[in-house]
A and B are shown apart, each in its own frame.
Chain A
Amino acid sequence: MSSIGQILNTAKEALLAHQVAIGVTGTNVANVSTPGYSRQRAVIEAKGTMESIENDVQIGVEVTQVQRLFDQFIEARINDQSSLLSYSETRQDALSQIEAIFNESQQDGLSSVMDRFWKAWDDLSFNPTGEVERFAVVSAAENLATTLREYSNQLTDVQDSMNSRLSDNITQLNSYLADIADTTGKIIQVQSGGGNTNDLMDKRSELLKKVSETLNIQYMQRSDGSLDIFMSNGKALVQGDRYWALEAVQNTATGFYDVAFEEDNTEILNDAIAGGRLGACLDVRDTDATDYLGQLNTLAAAIADEVNAQHIEGFDRNGNVGGLFFDDVTEAKNMAVSSAILADLSLIAASATVNGDGDNAQAMSGLRDALTMRGDTIPFSSYLNSLIGQIGEDVAAANRSYGQRNAVMNTLIGQKEQVSGVSIDEEMVNLVRFQMGYSAAGKMITASQEMIDTLLGLVD
């Protein structure tokens, strides 16, 4: 048998519990568009019993906790995938820039400039003494040299931009790590005091995702609320409320940044970074662009070598042995027509004899098809074309992997949303439910009051 006082008390608890539940629903609705927000749920439990003569009677209700609906396994997969996705995105973006450099569909692509260079020699072979033809050879050669230099500069620009992105990302990463350590500190504190850490946890999950986007990490959550983050080589980035910042250290040999810990910047961590934006910056800068640049340099050096070798076989307008036509270069960025030729067109060695026959110019134009590259198996043009093909393949592969990873990411986000996302429809239904509960509890109070009135009426 419960007393009216107990009924009133129960009604009060019911009112409060539903008020909290409506409040939580309100929070959910308010955060429907907040990134990283995990929906919450008021856990309402029956509270206590009172021993009566016949049986135990429920005497109340309370909100035991406000639960954060969150699946840490989906979260872990999303974080892994974030590393892969942001790696692909960054690499795809950079490679597309490189592809644009080598877009040969335009009129002045390297291959057409090369063609015009050989053509100019052909024309010269027909008129080895012609000033116009000599001028045409030099201007085509300068065009070729300029184009090679430009391609090289643009590739270097991409490397430089990757390099500064690397440094920017490290700065950003350090602020994420600091925030995570700070948030963890608060979580530990709040949790030990028995408080609600839901918002802090959401905030930290968002930060963790951003760290994953920056580089590939491993992490584990501990029962005291701390989150330990490690690099792939096992070095800790965050432990409890401590963190270790990274630093972009200038490598004196390459001029580019290396990644190291701020505390000990002698140990280079580049090899431990395989994913995320940092991984992409390093890969594009040190692998992709370096490879393309290397091939461009090989091509430029070979053109300079072969042309020079043929040029010194011939005789110039004055019967002298031909000198260097291009500067002797090993890198495309230095490609240039020799200053002596630029100053005096008569130094072009167009003839195979001292008599002005034009046959050396003919031999020069034959270099177009001569097997000069890859151990004398393919001509210059094929070498260039296969470089362009390779870049195209790399870009296509990067596009594909981005597409696939994006699709996986979307699925994972869908799964996460199913658990943690806010559905307005659901919240509205809950609202109706809690509102009904609240009204019913109110009714209980009215009923109790009437009961008391009745009792008091009996006394009168």
Chain B
Amino acid sequence: MVMRLTENLKFNSTTNNIYLSQSKYAELMEQISTQKRINKPSDDPVGTRAVLDYRKTQASVEQYRRNVDASKGWLNMTETKLANIRDLLVQMRETAITQATATATAETRATAAETVDLLTQEIYTLANSQYNGRYLFAGSKTETEPFSTTARTSTSIGTAEAASGNTFDGTIAAGGTYTGTVNKTYVVKVTTGGALGTAVCDISADGGRTWGVTGQTIPAGGTITLGDGVTLTFTDSGTNRLAADDIFYADALTTGYFNGDGEEISVNVGEGVSFAYNLSGEDIFTNGGSGTTDIFRTLHGLKAALQNNELAGIQSALDGLEEASNSVNLHVSKAGSKQNRLEVTDSNLVDLDYQVTQLRSNTEDADVAKVITEFSQRETALKAAYQIAATIGNISILSFMR
């Protein structure tokens, strides 16, 4: 059968062809200008999902690297300070060795005592160093100056504090004698409010990180035992009683010079990878926790022995200094190895970033050469469509009729 080609059919198919060519043309134009194959989710839904995942990974990697950099800064500072302390300890040891000989006199020892005192002050300054306003060696108590110049001769329990947002307006007092071997911050969190005798609380010995005792009822007498001999006594004012989430805390400190704690502080350096970037003063400078030697006691002991011209004291301080050097050395290398670990982590992150960038580019980026070739093909097609549109009405039987 002969096809009847009607006027509408001719014009419809022409406009359809132009539309088709134009839309493909515009799509390719967008790809060329953005250099991307995927410009909206529907261009490639599966690819879009992958690209978004890659982008998120890249953003995470960027942040992890930032964290690695900040940790490196902290550790670098830690290492420098400890290395300085190590050098000062060496000087001090030389002084002590000289003064431990028979040729030393009371006068030379008194002068040496001055030197030791100066060096000790320097070590204090170093051990109390800050990085970005936070104390390097205070454990998690980064706002507390970790070392004091005078020793506590007995354990101490700090003033009990009530958090500012508490409902409870009675008084609290910490009491007892601390029998623990490391510094702790006890925290009491009220879980069920009410009058003394009915209120229930949780108790933490690590500043509130974990709750060692839960569901402890506060007796009518108001005194609860926090642990290691520390007690806390509540006195109800009778008006605003204990309420849930009221927080009370008290520091318990051992003897010695250290005011910080042995807690780690950490940062995320990978998906689910936490990295503790601090070295606690407790481990380095005290004999509490996993620390081995009380460095400041040795230093103060040396000074006293020199002032008092006591050979035995100087000799025992020499042993102490050796232990001190060992401890500081150990931690210098710990800081170094932590930095090495960060280097490894960082280079892994760089690799990951590179791979993900590649993957993302493969998925997302347009193959420009191919797109441009296709573009010029489409251009030809579009030109042809226009040409046809321009000539479509030109020829009909009318041209031949008079």
Contact = CB atoms under 8 A, between A and B. Distances in A.
Contact of A321 (B52, B70, B206, B245): B245
Nearest to B250: A354
Contacts of B396: 424-425, 428
Interface string A188-220: 000000000000000000000000000000000
Given A127-B134, A365-B268, A395-B42, A356 B141 contact: yes
A355 B144 contact: yes
A428 B263 contact: no
B53 interface: yes
B140 A355 contact: yes
Given A352-B209, A369-B60, A388-B48, A424 B267 contact: no
A429 B40 contact: no
Interface of B: 3-9, 12-13, 16, 36, 38-46, 48-49, 52-53, 55-56, 59-60, 63, 66-67, 70, 132-134, 140-144, 161, 163-166, 185, 187, 189, 206-209, 245, 247, 249, 261, 263, 265-268, 271-272, 274, 396-398, 401
A115 B185 CA distance: 34
Contacts of A423: 4-7
Interface of A: 32-33, 96, 99-100, 102-105, 111-112, 115, 118-119, 122-123, 125-130, 315-316, 318-321, 351-359, 362, 365-366, 368-369, 381-382, 384-386, 388-396, 399, 410, 413-414, 417-418, 421-426, 428-429, 432
Contacts of A111: 52, 55-56
B265 A359 contact: yes
A316 to B, nearest CB: 8
A320, A386, A389, A428: most-surrounded residue (chain B CB, <10 A): A389
7 contacts: A96-B42, A100-B40, A103-B40, A112-B59, A126-B132, A392-B41, A414-B9
B143 A355 contact: yes
Given A389-B46, A392-B45, A115 B59 contact: yes
Contacts of B7: 32-33, 421-424
B187 A389 contact: no
B397 A99 contact: no
Contacts of B267: 122, 125-126, 362
A122 B265 CA distance: 13
Nearest 8 A/B pairs, CB to CB:
A353-B207, A392-B41, A421-B6, A392-B45, A389-B49, A395-B42, A357-B140, A320-B165
Contact of A353 (B39, B70, B263, B266): B263
B77 to A, nearest CB: 13
A33 B133 CA distance: 82
Given A368-B60, A428-B397, A388 B52 contact: yes
A359 B266 contact: yes
Given A126-B70, A365-B268, A414-B9, A320 B247 contact: yes
B397 A424 contact: yes
Contacts of A382: 53
Contact of A129 (B56, B59, B143, B401): B143
